[in-house]
Structure 1
């Protein structure tokens, strides 16, 4: 079974949030079965789509204690296909240039799963004091729903977990928590009535404007350019006397949006219009974000980040989905203070504020035997054995709540690569990941 060809075939199977991971999980399940593993499928439904948590063991029965090797099989949405230059405008066409492979999921994180699987096949008949269980989850882009359901169904009995993420083969012992919030900003009754009648008017006209940004992972928004924020900054500076017909942008709370569209009509006289509400909430969000940047005076320490990921227009309201990432050093009290302030600003703007998801940061002590053992292995591979921290939230935040010691590790770069067109990974890194 050829590793590279299996990688290319796997990347060719779409597993985006709008498609689900079912087909991708079925594919690697067949590969694992052919290798001699016992495969269990936890079938679920998310957003109306069939999904699978794939559970692979070298033995049929679940042991009392095991080592969890976990990787999510879903990817982000690819965005504009035309920006995928290295894959001929097809993000699912895994393409190799020299020693690098390009395609959606090559780094984040489908090929990490194959690295684990191809490494594990060498031990399919080996007896371990603590056997491993390899799990491919769904829903990483939807609040890590697969990892949560795996825990709820008590399908694993793990003591330690190695979570797959693109870390450039660096060992991660601490990572940020994640809060996902939803803000619903209502149109006034007059605006609702006007918008409903607008398209039926003989002389109705609108003005549109497109805003471009730069995609990036929401854990590092400074590496991108948020097209939604650019649009809102423009909107709140416009003179009074307009009706919003549409605000649209972004694909996920997890990605910095690179595209947004504004459509307005010039008309005045509305009572309690929506634009001042948007302006009030945007101002409060920027004030909190400003405090994020001054959270620590240590340039080496991570700071909290905020990302306005999506905005959509409905008949009666505008909905914004945003995410905040909180380092381990942020106390629960400080987190609650920031969320309360954002909620109060929304209340003052007669809007609703709801926390859709919250996962605390994780941390493993540097004295951990699990951590030290992994560091020793990395040293033997001539790689850096210094434990690092990660800006993005991972499934480690889910598993650590059960008392598991969690480390994060994987091939490929995250910064400027994951959640961006022409995602790539070094084939040498894939081979080292298998060896690790």
Structure 2
């Protein structure tokens, strides 16, 4: 069997292959180079690799690499894309792995190309020919923008395993739940006119004031009616992120747009929340004589929850000697759960470094993560079915 490159060498090559995903077309890139590296390395270790382009996006790819057979098994999952970078704010080239002060710097070092290098370095020492259940390495596209890679897997129903770990940076803390997220836009269309006479137009900003007042009322109702003490912010949140309207002080504003997000607790339905907001808008339309449109900026991400009693969560609590917690950021976890896997999020590096200039992974995160990976493979892929 061909030897794999060293962990540092693999991480160097992965980071050197740009794979930014972004809603802005001038930033958006293919992840093909990263997928090809992973396919080459995993194939050399005996994995059967399937590379799939995303529907309607021929330059974006998912990779499913499988070794072993059986009805159960374990998925080790990560995304291959990164966010854009702040040019001029990095102390070194974002695409060149650099070690200094016991840290590995580079775009994607912790979020989350480094995870793949750690997985590969771990399995090179394991007896994968003795697997009693399959081990699957999953690499997805576009997690940082649309989560189109994970959504495509749900539609294609390609994965069949019992347990899954997503190696997002959690500082090695097991995560069993996170809130969902919706990003929405409300557009109010009135009628522009000369500001000297209000009757010459219909002010969209005035109508938007009513819209925002109604949304704030709804926000307070959500805070009153829904709590989950397992979260630091234990209620659903709604944030008014940006507003645009009008063009001059002496013109009646003809159009105004508000963009906001809503983060729901596990057990709440994004679709029901959207429907509730939509129900509140026609009355404002009628009252103000404007047109009001509600639409999503991006497809929503459901909330994520795996019961704390799940075998994989209990195993990771034992391996890390840390109780499972919740986080505020979104992951691909709900999509893996939709495919029937008991999923948790646990990985090396801190979310505080993700999406930041000079992103890094501390070297002291690597060996503990390898202990977790080794322990999960032994527990769910190398032991007998009865012990699962």
* TM-score above 0.5, yes or no: yes
Distance 1:359 1:98 in 2: 37
Match of 1:13 among 17, 22, 33: 17
Distance 2:367 2:241 in 1: 34
Aligned to 1:229: none
Aligned to 1:394: 331
Aligned to 2:153: 150
Equivalent residues of 1:343, 1:353 under 8 A apart: no
Q: Which has the higher strand share?
A: 1
Give 1:96 shift: 2.2
Aligned to 2:350: 413
Residue-by-residue CA offset, 1:235-276 (whole Å, 9 max, x unaligned): xxxxx959xxxxxxxxxxxxxxxxxxxxxxxxx997234433
2:361 paired with 1:425: yes
Give 1:405 shift: 0.8
Map 1:88-99; keep pairs closer than 5 Å.
90-99=93-102
2:303 paired with 1:361: yes
2:234 paired with 1:302: yes
RMSD: 3.5
Q: Structure 1 residues 137, 338: CA separation in 2 closer, same or farther (over 3 Å shift)?
A: closer
Distance 1:296 1:98 in 2: 42
Map 1:29-68; keep pairs closer than 5 Å.
29-45=39-55, 48=57, 50-59=59-68, 63-68=70-75
How many residue pairs get aligned? The number is 348
Aligned to 1:372: 314
Give 1:103 shift: 2.5
Distance 1:6 1:311 in 2: 44
Aligned to 1:69: 76
Q: Structure 1 residues 185, 126: CA separation in 2 closer, same or farther (over 3 Å shift)?
A: farther
Residue-by-residue CA offset, 1:28-60 (whole Å, 9 max, x unaligned): 2223233443221011255x561111111225x
Map 1:97-112; keep pairs closer than 5 Å.
97-112=100-115
Distance 1:74 1:331 in 2: 29
Give 1:422 shift: 2.4
Match of 1:135 among 135, 138, 143: 138
Give 1:402 shift: 3.2
Q: Structure 1 residues 103, 350: CA separation in 2 closer, same or farther (over 3 Å shift)?
A: farther
Match of 1:122 among 120, 125, 130: 125
2:95 paired with 1:85: no
Equivalent residues of 2:208, 2:256 under 8 A apart: no
- Please report the TM-score for the alignment, with normalisation by the length of structure 1: 0.69
Give 1:63 shift: 4.2
Q: Structure 1 residues 186, 10: CA separation in 2 closer, same or farther (over 3 Å shift)?
A: farther
Distance 1:167 1:396 in 2: 14
Which stretches in structure 2 are left out of the alignment for 5+ residues? 22-27, 246-253, 373-388
Q: Structure 1 residues 372, 286: CA separation in 2 closer, same or farther (over 3 Å shift)?
A: same
Distance 2:207 2:14 in 1: 46
Distance 1:405 1:52 in 2: 24
Q: Structure 1 residues 127, 183: CA separation in 2 closer, same or farther (over 3 Å shift)?
A: farther
Distance 1:352 1:6 in 2: 48
Residue-by-residue CA offset, 1:92-139 (whole Å, 9 max, x unaligned): 333322111222212211211222222233336332222210010012
Distance 2:104 2:200 in 1: 55
2:17 paired with 1:27: no
Give 1:407 shift: 0.9
Which stretches in structure 1 are left out of the alignment for 5+ residues? 192-239, 243-267
Equivalent residues of 2:319, 2:371 under 8 A apart: no
Match of 1:325 among 239, 263, 288: 263
Larger deviation, residues 316-325 vs 118-127: 316-325
Q: Structure 1 residues 420, 269: CA separation in 2 closer, same or farther (over 3 Å shift)?
A: farther
Aligned to 2:167: 164
Map 1:269-280; keep pairs closer than 5 Å.
271-280=201-210
Equivalent residues of 1:170, 1:388 under 8 A apart: yes
Equivalent residues of 1:7, 1:114 under 8 A apart: yes
Residue-by-residue CA offset, 1:300-335 (whole Å, 9 max, x unaligned): 46333345667899xx9776654322222x544x98
Map 1:259-270; keep pairs closer than 5 Å.
none
